[in-house]
Amino acid sequence: MGTATFIQDEAELDLLLKNESLLVVDFTATWCGPCKMIAPFMDQLAEEYSDQIKVSKLDLDSNKGIAKRFSIRSIPAVLFFKEGELKETVIGAKPYENFKSVVAGLL
């Protein structure tokens, strides 16, 4: 079963960006209500596309430098990377179809 796993630090993120052809990163925080709303969507993406994409979560409270690096000003923010390059950003609690359509467009 696919689930979105947590990235621990910037070094791990950089490794994933280098090694994954399509990476989805959910920038989240434990205190963020809307983040909790979309968390099941990230697991659903990970499950549905388990053989095509890598879905991860990143806690911004313990990775503030990464927020600055990608100019994250509000969360939830879901960033879509293809071949290590940022292709799309979805900000806020959106329906699952929004995230799925971005993935489908990048495949």
Q: Does the active-site annotation cover 94? A: no
Residues 3, 47: Cα–Cα separation, whole Å = 6
Contacts 24+ apart (CB under 8 A), 10-17: 10/63, 10/65, 10/66, 10/69, 13/56, 13/58, 13/66, 16/54, 16/56, 17/81, 17/84
What the block records as the tokens of 62 is 């313990």
* 37 assigned to active site: no
Catalytic residue among 4, 23, 25, 35: 35
- Rounded Cα gap, residues 51 and 35, in angstroms: 25
13, 24, 25, 32: which is the annotated catalytic residue?
Answer: 32
Q: Which residues are catalytic?
A: 32, 35
